[in-house]
Amino acid sequence: MRCLFLVGTVFVGLAFCSLAANSVPAPQPVLGVFRGALNPAGVDTFSTWIGRPVDIADEFDGSESWNNIEGPGWLLNPWAKWVTAKPGRQLILAVPILAGPWNRTGPTSGTVDLNQPVSLETGATGAYNAHFTKLAQALVSRGLGHSILRIGWEFNGGWYSWRAKDSPGAYSEYWRQIVKTMRAVPGAEGLKFCWNPANGYQAFPAEKAWPGDDWVDYIGVDVYDQSWIANTYPWPAGEDPAKIEERRHKAWDGWCLNGSHQLTYWVKFATDHNKPLAIPEWGVSSSKGGHDGLDNAYFVEQMHTFITNPANRVAFHCYFDIHAHDGNHQISPGNKAPEPTEFPQASQKYLELFKGP
């Protein structure tokens, strides 16, 4: 989401196993949530709402300055307190890899390289490695050395400064520079790295920016209930409810699941590279663009089926439970319940399928 402030193989980190026949059932994918920036309390409120522990929390590092990318205390300290409060908790941190605005003119704040242009090509030379050494050190010093990092997420789109359409090779080399640098920090051996395109073809085929199997721990895909194929979204005013449901089914089957570079594609890609799949962001959607399924319980149902199917090897998933600047997704009652949701049917379906015992 364009949101910033932040067989027989066992994968390390969030445990995910492909188990032999007649053994104990494979563990369910770990459940997580994004409840907004600097909001551990919101994660706990979400956990209370669904009646089960939420073991992982999404957060976004700020891109305004290199100082923010380095993991400042004001960002990491609240999450360190939340993670260390209960065993099994984990932070997933989306990490910008170029500081400053979309046009790559450089940081607009902070104390480092103010207004100096940035590029993926420069990053590929190792010129920015020191910032990621500091980030790894900041994480380790706060007991967050087992976090999952979404380095330069949604790079196959066109909405971030690290968009990689014109330089996928530079992106790949920059990724390797970052991972090598962070893994070299003492205590950071437990950090895991999630290569995380947005679902769909987007601006270019994301695999052109694949950094190599040795440099990736998870393949993550962000999935929202949106569609651009004919006779799906948006539907005309006054559309019959049964026809709306037909459109929603078509959007799931023809776009989210089986469209170009959509979920079915990424399942095969992850399997071919012997990596677990992850869904770091997913949600129902309502936006000004109109290509959304709105209060779509069917989408939630299909996501649950996909996530819990062992054949898809999903390690973890995080619902994007906020109203963002480019679309609304919140299905929980919010931080100060009750806060009405515009997705009551999707909310009820999520509770039905994901709630605790």
Residue-wise pLDDT tens digits, 113-126? 999 999 999 999 99
Residues 163, 46: Cα–Cα separation, whole Å: 32
Per-residue pLDDT of 30-63, as tens digits, reads 999 999 999 999 999 999 999 999 999 999 999 9
Place of tokens 């909001």: 39
Quick one: angle between helices 297-308 and 344-354, nearest 10? 20
Q: Is 7 a residue whose pLDDT tops 70?
A: no
Alpha-carbon dihedral of residues 168, 216, 285, 89, nearest 10 degrees? -150
Range in 8-17, 201-210, 232-241, 245-254 the model is least confident about: 8-17
Return the percentage of the chain with pLDDT > 70, whole number.
92
The helix or strand, by DSSP H or E, that contains position 32, with its residue range, turns out to be: strand 30-34
Mean pLDDT, range 97-111, rounded to an integer:
96
Q: Six-digit token pair at 202?
A: 């987007």
Domain-wise residue ranges, the chain: 10-354
Residues 300, 306: Cα–Cα separation, whole Å: 10
- Given pLDDT bands bounded at 50, 70 and 90, which one contains residue 16? very low
Mean pLDDT, range 224-252, rounded to an integer:
97
Q: Six-digit token pair at 271?
A: 């399997």
For 10-354, CATH gives 3.20.20.80
- Looking at residue 1, what is its pLDDT? 52
Please report, for residues 218, 220, 289, the alpha-carbon distance to residue 316 in angstroms, rounded to integers and kept in the order given: 10, 9, 29
Residues 35, 59: Cα–Cα separation, whole Å: 9
Cβ burial of 18 (10 Å; 0-12, 13-18, 19+) is middle
- Looking at residue 356, what is its pLDDT? 87
The whole-model pTM stands at 0.91
Q: Is 13 a residue whose pLDDT tops 90?
A: no
| Cβ neighbours around 255 below 10 Å, total | 22
- Given pLDDT bands bounded at 50, 70 and 90, which one contains residue 340? confident
Residues 6+ apart with CB under 8 A from 18: 7, 8, 9, 26, 310, 313
With contact defined as beta carbons under 8 Å apart, do 198 and 239 qualify?
Answer: no
Mean pLDDT, range 247-253, rounded to an integer:
98
Residues 307, 56: Cα–Cα separation, whole Å: 16
Per-residue pLDDT of 147-165, as tens digits, reads 999 999 999 999 999 999 9
Residues 33, 53: Cα–Cα separation, whole Å: 11
Residues 339, 252: Cα–Cα separation, whole Å: 28
Average pLDDT value over all residues in the chain:
92
With contact defined as beta carbons under 8 Å apart, do 172 and 178 qualify?
Answer: no
Residues 147, 193: Cα–Cα separation, whole Å: 9
Mean pLDDT, range 123-141, rounded to an integer:
98
- Looking at residue 20, what is its pLDDT? 37
- Looking at residue 25, what is its pLDDT? 56
Q: Is 12 a residue whose pLDDT tops 70?
A: no
Mean pLDDT, range 174-180, rounded to an integer:
98
Per-residue pLDDT of 306-327, as tens digits, reads 999 999 999 999 999 998 888 8
Higher pLDDT, 124 or 28: 124
